[in-house]
Amino acid sequence: MNPFFRKTIFLWQVPTIAGGKPDEVAERLKNAGFEGVIVKAADGPFAYRPPVIGWTENISAALVNALHARGLAVLGYGFLYGANPTGEADIAITQVNRYGLDGYVFDVEGQFDSRSNAEANAYAVMARYRKSCPTTPTAFCSWALWKSPRSGATWHPLPVARAFMQFCDVGMPMVYWGGETPDDALDWVKPCLTQWQQLTAKPIIPAGRAYNGDGGKAREDAVRTFGQYVRIAGLKGITWWSMQHAMALPEVWAELAAMPGFASPVDPTPEEVNLTNWALAIDEWARRYGYVGPAPRGIA
């Protein structure tokens, strides 16, 4: 099974969770119904070390073993800057092989795609990585919206995204909505999915907001709405940013824990199987879950 086809969450700084004790971290994830976790393993061309005195590397064999022992998929992720494409590919290869990771995520944002040679760097990273890790499930994590959903103006370089998606198995848009209401969450996810569907025919596993900041809040009803929409839209998995932020928001953590998983889904009804149009999906979602608010902006 593709390890991304699960209910997962990003784990940025391991020592912020129960002091980083592997069994306690794993138990908290298991008890909340998560089926996998995406642990920061690299920053640029280096293994990631969280800014905690006395702490060395963020990910460890003990943590991976504790997670695997509880049936969780363990994926690594690295933040890319584009200054050293060879090094960024090599650390990804090293971490996948060293820890026996089930998959890997390339986190690509402004530091990478603002470079004049970003497209060439994308090919360089991914060609080198795929030469050594040809079958490791891999995701490209980046912007929710590449263009303005209203004016059509380009916000981010699509050639960079296309380069990564030639090699990656899954697209992972960061749908960190502005605002805090269910309408705000829906107002982001619908155009996001439309734009990513135009970018790639590969599966899309969205990352939802489970933190406060950057112009938005993770209110529990918005988190619930986002999760329900992802399921009714027929997507194969979901992830969230991030564990340390969500656990500091008890209502949000409880909401995430209450969400069903994806690894062993309930048999879908024929109605759900045939539901492939996202404009229809939102109407079906509203009917099924009793949403009575105003129609989200931008929803056809």
Nearest to 108 by CA among 140, 154, 151: 140
Helix (H, G, I), strand (E, B), or coil: what is residue 191? helix
**Range(s) of the domain holding residue 248:** 8-289
pLDDT confidence of residue 166: 98
Pairing of strands 36-43, 207-209: unpaired
Written as six digits, the tokens of 132 are: 């050594």
CATH code for the domain in which residue 117 is found: 3.20.20.80
- Answer for the pair 118, 151: CB distance below 8 angstroms, yes or no: no
Q: How far apart are the first and last CA of the chain?
A: 34
Taking residue 267's Cβ as centre, other Cβ atoms within 10 Å add up to 6
> What single DSSP character describes residue 43?
E
Task: For residue 28, count CB atoms less than 10 angstroms from its CB and return exposed for 0-12, middle for 13-18, buried for 19 or more.
Answer: middle
CA-based radius of gyration for the chain:
18
Domain count, the chain: 1
Whether 244 is covered by a domain: the verdict is yes
- What are residue 74's phi and psi, to 5 degrees? -120, 115
Nearest to 209 by CA among 235, 233, 173: 173
pLDDT confidence of residue 211: 98
pLDDT confidence of residue 283: 52
Whether 299 is covered by a domain: the verdict is no
Whether 125 is covered by a domain: the verdict is yes
> What single DSSP character describes residue 169?
S
pLDDT confidence of residue 280: 46
Whether 81 is covered by a domain: the verdict is yes
Whether 129 is covered by a domain: the verdict is yes
Whether 266 is covered by a domain: the verdict is yes
In sequence order, the 6+-apart residues with CB closer than 8 A to the CB of 189 are: 175, 177, 206, 226, 229, 230
Whether 200 is covered by a domain: the verdict is yes
Q: For residue 264, what are the CA distances in angstroms to 5, 7, 49, 174?
A: 10, 10, 34, 24
Whether 84 is covered by a domain: the verdict is yes
- Answer for the pair 102, 137: CB distance below 8 angstroms, yes or no: yes
- Tens-binned pLDDT, residue by residue, of the chain (300 aa): 899 999 999 999 999 999 999 999 999 999 999 999 999 999 999 999 999 998 999 999 999 999 999 999 999 999 999 999 999 999 999 999 999 999 999 999 999 999 999 999 999 999 999 999 999 999 999 999 999 999 999 999 999 999 999 999 999 999 999 999 999 999 999 999 999 999 999 999 999 999 999 999 999 999 999 999 999 999 999 999 999 999 999 999 999 999 999 987 544 443 333 333 434 444 544 554 454 444 333 332
Asked, as a colleague might, if the bond just before 114 is cis with ω within 30 of 0, I would say no
